Structure 1
Amino acid sequence: MAFSRLATVAVGAVTLAAMAMPASAHGIWFAQRARQLALIYGVGADDLDAVKRLPLVKSVTGYDADWAPVTTSLRAAGIIPVVDSDEPVAAVAAIMDYGYWSKTPDGEWHNKGRDEVPTATLAEHNFKYAVYLSQVPTKPVPLFEGHMLQVVPVDGIPQKMGEPMKVRVFYKGKPIAGATVMQDYVNDPDEAAPAKTAADGTATIKLRNQGINVLMAIYVGQTADKRVDHEEYRASLSFVLPHAPE
């Protein structure tokens, strides 16, 4: 399967103030809110303040059905950031650099690296990615520029809940073995036995919902950055299966 790399549109980034919550536990994904496509930050049913975290979003990009770029941006609309585009989009993607986080012996997380928190029991750099497909792709889903981790459908997307779906996880543009793939990040964030990717980067999950499905791939990568022990990547793939006509 051939994949192409597509350009991203930067929306800027600044440092976020420290927050005492596990940085690695949360992800980002796109979902409908009042007929608008919104960028969600959270885990499970915890839909947290994504507007406050907008400065950490490095890019948001939109594409048509042929994967040609469509001018796309995020706009704060009250308590949620929503997608604005010049024309309808078949897919939207986003990158968030969540920065450096260190956990101290008292269990608190600090928005700093190990160089500033020498007593840390764990230090990591967190990256979060999201891809939303508003329709069944008619062409292979490409690898998006800047997405260090990405989940891609292998044989399309089945349209019925309970059917198997094969995906491939890419890390730095190559299929990666050993990545975790959660099949329902919103309704089952504590999934007991999530899938693991094989040597070719593939895993097969079951579609859990006749509605929105949020798949989440998780991978911990090594780094030469002495300020952290590792880098953690979370990449969502979300899409909606149609319900029966009303």
Structure 2
Amino acid sequence: MTNGTMPRILRRSICAATIAATMTISVAANAHGIWFAQRAKQLALIYGVGADDLDMVRRLPQVESIAAYDAEYRPINSAARIAGAIVLIDSDAQPTLVAAVMPYGVWSRVGNGDFEKKTLLEMPNATFSTRNVKYAVTIQGPLSKPIPALAGHTLQVVPVGDIPATLGTPMTYRVLYNGAPLAGARVINDLVNDPDAKPLLSAADGTVTLPVRNQGLNVVLAVYDGPSDNPKLYGQVEHSATLAFTLPHLPE
């Protein structure tokens, strides 16, 4: 059957499916995330996308967990602290990793309209509805062993091998879903400085290789649309996970 003879209804269905898929990828690729960054020599939890460093203080009650780990990946005491307009992370000792999980509720919309924080029961005419969960991990100390799957992190990005010393060096990451390698996750190299980059898909073994982008803060983002655990309320669960690490600059 050629395009010229394809029934109109079938052509419409294919077109609608293409638009829906494109819209989903666009939404995910441009979604806000959480990550860790230095603020005045202290570690802060950031919410935003690109240069938008938005109000994390107001969103702090939505953070489900914050955890810090030593070089053996044993938990150490840590807590969030509001300091003016930012959220800082305190810990009893210098951590190797710090991690956070933030469920962000259910968001729905009709067509290309604005997202509203409503379920399908509240917006039965919605054409797209998703529950969002955001995860963040930052590397704050030398890694003596591979990073394990962390408790509570349904989606996680981990480095494969050592972290390079200079920008531009190829670096391989693995995306984990429930602790196992995930194929088809959408990965971008720099959520802070290039948030609109075309995502790459993780391979069958969950890996993706990208050049290290910054001689400074790097925030890699992975997004995966998982199945809904409550289809009456939302059609999918969008998981977005960041891995942040910093390459040092030359001595001054």
TM-score normalised per structure 1 = 0.88
Q: Which residue of the partner structure matches residue 190 of structure 1?
A: 196
1:52 match: secondary structure: helix
Cα 1:170–1:241 change in 2 (3 A) is same
Cα 1:23–1:236 change in 2 (3 A) is closer
Q: Which residue of the partner structure matches residue 222 of structure 1?
A: 227
Cα distance in 2, alignment partners of residues 210 and 91 from structure 1: 20
Q: Which runs of 5+ in 1 are unaligned?
A: 1-20
2:95 match: secondary structure: coil
Superposed CA offset, 1:101-148 (max 9, x none): 111347121112111111212110000000000123111101110100
1:6-85 → structure 2 map (5 Å cutoff): 25-85=31-91
Q: Which residue of the partner structure matches residue 18 of structure 1?
A: none
Contact 1:211/1:241 (CA < 8 Å) preserved in 2?
yes
Superposed CA offset, 1:18-54 (max 9, x none): xxx9997100000001111000000000111011100
Q: CA RMSD in A?
A: 1.6
Contact 2:106/2:234 (CA < 8 Å) preserved in 1?
yes
Q: Which residue of the partner structure matches residue 11 of structure 1?
A: none
User: Is the aligned partner of 1:235 residue 2:234?
Assistant: no
Contact 1:25/1:43 (CA < 8 Å) preserved in 2?
yes
Superposed CA offset, 1:35-74 (max 9, x none): 1100000000011101110011000000111111110011
**Partner of residue 180 from structure 2, selected from 171, 174, 184:** 174
1:112 match: secondary structure: coil
Structure whose CA Rg is larger: 2
Cα distance in 1, alignment partners of residues 214 and 86 from structure 2: 24
Q: Which residue of the partner structure matches residue 22 of structure 2?
A: none
Letter in 1 for 2:122: E
Aligned-residue identity in percent = 52
Cα 1:74–1:177 change in 2 (3 A) is same
Contact 2:29/2:195 (CA < 8 Å) preserved in 1?
no
Superposed CA offset, 1:157-203 (max 9, x none): 111100010111001111110001111110000003x2211101111
Cα distance in 2, alignment partners of residues 93 and 55 from structure 1: 16
Q: Which runs of 5+ in 2 are unaligned?
A: 1-26
- Count of equivalent residues: 225
TM-score normalised per structure 2 = 0.86
User: Is the aligned partner of 1:112 residue 2:118?
Assistant: yes
Contact 1:39/1:50 (CA < 8 Å) preserved in 2?
yes
Q: Which runs of 4+ in 1 moved over 2 A?
A: 21-24
